Structure 1
Amino acid sequence: MEISRVHPQLRAMARWVPRVNPGGWAVRNLARAGSRHLVPRARVAGVTIRNVSSGAARVRLYTPEVTGGAALLWIHGGGMVIGAPRQDDRFCAETASQLGVVVASVDYRLAPENPHPTPSEDCLAVWSWLQAGAASQGIDPDRIAVGGASAGGGLAASVVNTLHDDGGAQPAAQWLVYPMLDDRTAARTELDAVSHFVWDNSANRAGWAALLRGISSPGADGVPVDAAPARRADLAGLPQTWIGVGDIDLFHDEARCYAQRLVAAGVPTLLDVVPGAPHGFESLAPHVPVARAFLGRAREWLARAIAPR
């Protein structure tokens, strides 16, 4: 992909950020070690960060001094195979501070060692933990949103779908940042030549193959709907949804399609497309105006979605 397609404010970032293919164990393990042992970023005043156990899964909890009674179940990205909650410390702490919400970031087990459905089950376990302990933490169980970025966005959509089908307590909203929704994108080998910035289709194929290990292969028959949310036929009845993505992100087309299908199914949905934004732009260049504006719009939407009824 030509650098000229990248938003001018994001070109410096796009030039220096390497494309990482996590398919090989050495690269994958190096990336995992890096994400778990990051030097802590500057703390956000008034937000306490601590690691806790939900019993079935580990959680990194961000608690502001003043809470408004709402919470966000957050799921980090990393292509299903790398990443850890610490990588989102700044994002989660700022979200907690600005919105007055408790943020619970799931430290889910990663593929390929833990393929589907393990990552989703870990996220669902934290949802149940939040619901059970809501009162003791000053959280209204009806004001809990589910969100995530990239692979975490795909897992968030899967969690929301499963909760809908189970018929119990429902999320107030789903908040999906350039979500990884459709394994069939990975099977489109013509996309390999596009060479998307940050996360390309070769890396995408490795991530989906790891998640589906022992079940199926990306794009093939037999991929479970609860693993690939875009394969779900009926989207009616899902909670209000926000989806944000750049127009040069590999996931742009599947995110737009999912948003259009949600609207067609009667789900209140806002799709925020950022021109010239590659994958992960607001995390890799958080201080540039286009990234700050994107995060501002996203948080404004979430604040409205989880406001008291």
Structure 2
Amino acid sequence: MDPELEAFIPLFPRADLTDPVTERKNLAALAASIPPPDTSGMQIEDRLVPAEVDVPVRIYRPRDARGAIVWMHGGGWVMGDLETEHPWAARLAESSGAVVVSVGYRLAPENPFPAALDDCYAVLGWAVEHAEELGADPGRVAVGGHSAGGGLAAGIALRARDEQGPPICFQLLNQPGLDDRQETWSARTFTDTPWMNRDKVTAAWRHYLGSAPASPYAAPARADDLSGLPPAYIASAELCPSRDEDIEYALRLLRAGVSVELHQWAGTFHGSQAILSVEVSQRQIAELAAVLRRALAG
């Protein structure tokens, strides 16, 4: 493990999702402790996107934006909201120059699959339809997210392809949760890693899927055909249960003819980029923004 990261391990909360309500409060407290981002160079607006159930979004508009990204927060489909994602969504907008539409999708277990996916897909359609109003090119709308949010982004990319839905120019998938089966080496081996371990992954999938069988839209690694999907950037963390499924998904995209940039971050663990004072975290965050800026430049 990266020595700088290792020093912070005692400060991280125990990896647990058995009590979603308590864990939501813990994540909110953790997010509130992060230094606030600089938002002086952008406009920020909260909106409700009309859908079967209206979806709250927070829109970050930097000056001279050319493209936009529909951005899904992490939290195992169980935790997180617009407030906990604010430090990351604002930093992504400021550093990339993209309009960021942060999605406050419904959470499990109260709202199991496909609630979150439906919310994110509705926001994607709205963002493409209203791109010019947002200050973005309708042909330059990407999807992305951290962890569970990355899995949601991959899921709506599959759905948009299958349904000939809104055009997506790029997928920005940071440590995405893609496979409920947990059969990879990393999923079977990393049983006691910081922040995310096998038990927590198991609980997250159980809450998210509820009684529904896992489909490719819920667990994109289950998709038989990955051809025709947008180009992608996939980042994995070395000491993360989801590492191998992320790498395998990138390889399968490549074999299907999809252009992919894959970065396996040595010495990191799931979510460790939240430790902003560490050099490798700074590089991770900067790279996400640089990749998005390049992807939306056309």
Task: Report what 2:10 is aligned to.
Answer: 15
1:172 CA displacement: 0.8
User: How far, CA to CA, are the matches of 1:25 and 1:78 in structure 2?
Assistant: 10
1:137 CA displacement: 2.2
Check whether the contact 2:34–2:87 (CA below 8 A) recurs between aligned residues: no
Match of 2:276 among 286, 304, 307: 286
Mapping for residues 196-275 of structure 1, pairs under 5 Å: 196-216=193-213, 223-275=214-266
Check whether the contact 1:196–1:249 (CA below 8 A) recurs between aligned residues: yes
User: How far, CA to CA, are the matches of 1:262 and 1:164 in structure 2?
Assistant: 14
1:40 CA displacement: 8.4
Check whether the contact 2:239–2:267 (CA below 8 A) recurs between aligned residues: yes
Residue 156 of structure 2 is aligned to residue 165 of structure 1: no
User: How far, CA to CA, are the matches of 2:238 and 2:38 in structure 1?
Assistant: 32
Change (3 A) 1:45 1:273: same
Moved over 6 A (4+): 35-40, 186-190
Change (3 A) 1:301 1:205: same
Any gaps of 5 or more consecutive residues in structure 2? Answer: none
SS at match of 2:18: coil
Match of 2:175 among 178, 181, 185: 178
Any gaps of 5 or more consecutive residues in structure 1? Answer: 1-5, 217-222
User: How far, CA to CA, are the matches of 1:151 and 1:305 in structure 2?
Assistant: 22
1:29 CA displacement: 5.0
Residues 4-23 of structure 1, C-alpha deviations (whole Å, 9 max, x = no match): xx111211222321223112
Task: Report what 1:143 is aligned to.
Answer: 140
Residues 257-308 of structure 1, C-alpha deviations (whole Å, 9 max, x = no match): 101111111110011011110000112x123211111222222221111113
Residues 131-184 of structure 1, C-alpha deviations (whole Å, 9 max, x = no match): 121122221111011000000010110011100111133211000000000001
Amino acid at match of 1:291: S
Change (3 A) 1:247 1:166: same
Amino acid at match of 1:7: D
Amino acid at match of 2:231: Q
* TM-score of the pair, normalised by structure 2: 0.92
User: How far, CA to CA, are the matches of 1:275 and 1:224 in structure 2?
Assistant: 31
Check whether the contact 2:38–2:91 (CA below 8 A) recurs between aligned residues: no
Match of 1:110 among 107, 110, 132: 107
Check whether the contact 2:190–2:240 (CA below 8 A) recurs between aligned residues: no
SS at match of 2:204: helix
Residue 285 of structure 2 is aligned to residue 295 of structure 1: yes
Change (3 A) 1:161 1:81: same
Change (3 A) 1:112 1:189: farther
SS at match of 1:250: coil
Residue 261 of structure 2 is aligned to residue 304 of structure 1: no
User: How far, CA to CA, are the matches of 1:171 and 1:30 in structure 2?
Assistant: 34
SS at match of 2:267: coil
Amino acid at match of 1:41: P
> Percentage identity across aligned positions?
35
Mapping for residues 78-93 of structure 1, pairs under 5 Å: 78-93=75-90
User: How far, CA to CA, are the matches of 1:296 and 1:133 in structure 2?
Assistant: 28
Mapping for residues 89-104 of structure 1, pairs under 5 Å: 89-104=86-101
User: How far, CA to CA, are the matches of 1:135 and 1:26 in structure 2?
Assistant: 38
1:48 CA displacement: 2.5
What is the aligned length? 295
SS at match of 1:257: helix
